């Protein structure tokens, strides 16, 4: 949930007054003026609650499990029914920080890091190892379009050279977009993927009878965004998010002056970057240039996008790469089962995987890359889908904020109402940054109950 994140503060004049003196040479004037044109995120508070339906049925069917989520973000079968709670038909819960092929959600500019570190990752290593993916885009990061651009950029670089046999590690957006281009140009391409599916951090789950995106949800900023063309080409049905919010606590909508100041901070940092404000290089975060325009979501799921990246390349699933040896003329990529030799490799594994050290490089990556991998941040944003029988919340606002829910700040405060865009009685709750990390070790029973309790009490319903 990270729309319009480059301009987050309420007072535009104040922010731009400060920015010119603070950022010095780090950000050029063009970047500042581009950012200046972007929409600011604001809280639009809908004061009156509407369409509150209180005829709840006392039935709950839990669907989901932490263990299954860890194994691949899929739910339990619907097998754990109780009659204690009203109206919850099913849930899905992600736990990205414990995902062994991501270890988090996406990169962010941590304190002490800057855009130069992303640019460093985008540089070829010994002309045969190329890092790609959202964190290796030299211009913008943390998004599906950043991954797409990075995949295209690295493919264009390789097409200028003579590498014939190319290995691509990771079948997410960056890997598959590069694979398709290189294959179409006649190169011999092998994609090696650890999971039993393609898509990486784009993962649509349909087990609850609707398209639940467990990874990316939005196309952030449709104007000039290369994803706009790709999603049009695939014919993906689109819906548009607005920025209207209702703030609810203890059965009523709060007035503007009752909303605590930290609500905006949690929305704009923890639940957008996946990290707390204190952990971030705030100026770098705010002033990274990115696309503007509509925030688009896909009622039939983001996963359809992979239709655009089909090709004649070889794809090996369930193949966990453990080492990359680029000491010789060729590059040797080893999994637990076998080794393959390539003229060049594109490594699209997430920054979290590079940080974890689960892939060894021989020789070790040059120091500048190791520094960049170390100082850049890798955040966590987790999602909880709650599927109810009926809509009992405000039908119109796309966003619901629930402070004063009996938990610490940052816990279960942000909700997306999927009723306006999907026509389903489904809510999506976000926990990001420190809250997401703390909740990652809690069982589903605790996490789902607390989410459910928050939204029911916000609407004055019995729990």
Ligand X SMILES: Cc1cc2nc3c(=O)[nH]c(=O)nc-3n(C[C@H](O)[C@H](O)[C@H](O)COP(=O)(O)OP(=O)(O)OC[C@H]3O[C@@H](n4cnc5c(N)ncnc54)[C@H](O)[C@@H]3O)c2cc1C
Per CB under 6 A, residues contacting ligand X are 94, 96, 101-102, 105-106, 133-134, 142-147, 169-175, 192-195, 200-202, 215-218, 220, 320-321, 348-350, 353, 358-359, 381, 383
Sign of CA dihedral 267, 268, 273, 276: negative
Nearest Cα neighbor of 206 from 390, 448, 431, 426 is 426
Q: What angle do CA 100, 66, 392 make, to 5 degrees?
A: 130
As measured in angstroms, the least distance from the Cβ of 143 to ligand X is 3
Give Cβ neighbours of residue 346 (< 8 Å, ≥ 6 apart).
Answer: 130, 131, 132, 151, 154, 158, 166, 167, 168, 169, 174, 175, 178
CA distance 383 to 308: 26
Structure tokens at 16: 């731009």
Q: Which is nearer to ligand X, 96 or 342 (CB)?
A: 96
List the structure tokens of 376: 């850049």
Q: Is 360 helix (H, G, I), strand (E, B) or coil?
A: strand
Q: How far is the CB of 448 from ligand X (least distance, A)?
A: 17
Instruction: Name the minimum Å distance from CB 246 to ligand X.
Output: 21
Q: Please identify, using beta-carbon distances, which residue of 175 and 403 lies nearer to ligand X.
A: 175
Contact 188, 179 (CB under 8 A): no
Q: Which residues are paired to 362 by β-bridges?
A: 325
Nearest distance, CB of residue 297 and ligand X, angstroms: 8
CB of 191 to ligand X, least distance (A): 9
201/213 Cα distance (integer angstroms): 9
CB of 383 closer than 8 Å to CB of 216: no
Cβ–Cβ < 8 Å for 307, 127:
no
Considering the complex, what minimum distance in angstroms separates the CB of residue 173 from ligand X? 4
Instruction: Specify the residue, 96 or 415, whose C-beta has the smaller distance to ligand X.
Output: 96
Minimum CB separation of residue 338 from ligand X in Å reads: 13
Give every strand in the sheet of 239-240, ordered side by side: 218-220, 295-297, 239-240
CB of 112 to ligand X, least distance (A): 22
Q: Could you tell me where the beta strands, DSSP code E, fall in 88-215?
A: 88-93, 106-108, 129-131, 165-169, 188-192, 204-205, 212-213
Rank residues 259 and 347 by Cβ distance to ligand X and give the closer one.
Answer: 347
Q: Is the Cβ of residue 120 or residue 143 nearer to ligand X in the bound state?
A: 143
Residue placing its CB nearer to ligand X in the complex, 106 or 411: 106
Taking the least distance from each CB to ligand X, the nearer of 193 and 343 is 193
CA distance 381 to 235: 28
Buried b (16+ CB within 10 A) or exposed e, 147-158: bbbbbbbbbebb
- CB nearer ligand X, residue 247 or residue 345: 345
Shortest distance in whole angstroms from residue 196 CB to ligand X = 10
Which residue, 56 or 333, is less far from ligand X as judged by CB? 333
């Amino acid at each position: 949930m990270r729309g319009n994140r480059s301009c987050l503060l309420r007072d535009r004049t104040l922010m731009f007054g400060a920015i010119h003196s603070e950022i010095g040479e780090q950000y050029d004037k063009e970047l500042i003026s581009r950012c200046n044109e972007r929409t600011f995120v604001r809280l639009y508070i809908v004061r009156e609650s509407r369409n509150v339906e209180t005829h709840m049925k006392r039935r709950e069917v839990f669907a989901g499990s932490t263990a299954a989520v860890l194994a691949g973000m899929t739910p339990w079968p619907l097998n754990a029914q109780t009659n204690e709670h009203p109206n919850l038909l099913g849930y899905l819960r992600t736990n990205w920080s414990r995902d062994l092929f991501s270890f988090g959600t996406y990169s962010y500019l941590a304190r002490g890091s800057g855009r130069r570190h992303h640019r460093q990752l985008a540089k070829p290593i010994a002309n045969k190892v190329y890092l790609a993916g959202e964190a290796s885009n030299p211009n913008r990061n943390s998004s599906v379009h950043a991954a797409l651009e990075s995949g295209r950029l690295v493919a264009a670089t390789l097409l200028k050279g003579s590498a014939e046999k190319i290995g691509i590690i990771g079948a997410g957006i960056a890997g598959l977009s590069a694979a398709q281009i290189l294959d179409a140009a006649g190169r011999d391409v092998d994609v090696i993927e650890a999971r039993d599916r393609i898509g990486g951090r784009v993962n649509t789950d349909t087990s609850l009878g609707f398209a639940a995106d467990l990874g990316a949800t939005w196309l952030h900023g449709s104007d000039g965004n290369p994803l706009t063309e790709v999603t049009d080409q695939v014919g993906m049905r689109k819906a548009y998010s607005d920025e209207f919010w209702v703030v609810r606590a203890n059965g009523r909508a709060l007035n503007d002056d009752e909303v605590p100041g930290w609500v905006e901070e949690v929305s704009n940092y923890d639940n957008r970057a996946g990290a707390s404000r204190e952990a971030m290089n705030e100026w770098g975060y705010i002033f990274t240039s990115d696309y503007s325009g509509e925030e688009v979501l896909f009622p039939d799921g983001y996963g359809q996008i992979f239709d655009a990246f089909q090709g004649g390349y070889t794809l090996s699933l369930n193949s966990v790469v453990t080492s990359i040896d680029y000491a010789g003329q060729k590059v040797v990529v080893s999994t637990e089962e076998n080794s393959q030799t390539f003229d060049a490799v594109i490594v699209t594994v997430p920054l979290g995987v590079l940080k974890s050290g689960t892939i060894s490089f021989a020789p070790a990556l040059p120091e500048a890359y190791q520094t960049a991998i170390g100082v850049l941040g890798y955040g966590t944003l987790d999602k909880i889908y709650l599927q109810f029988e009926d809509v009992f919340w405000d039908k119109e606002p796309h966003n619901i904020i629930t402070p004063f829910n009996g938990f610490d700040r940052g816990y279960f405060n942000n909700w997306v109402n999927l009723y306006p865009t999907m026509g389903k009685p489904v809510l999506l709750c976000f926990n990001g940054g420190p809250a997401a990390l703390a909740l990652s070790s809690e069982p589903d029973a605790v996490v789902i109950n607390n989410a459910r309790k928050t939204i029911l009490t916000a609407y004055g319903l019995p729990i």
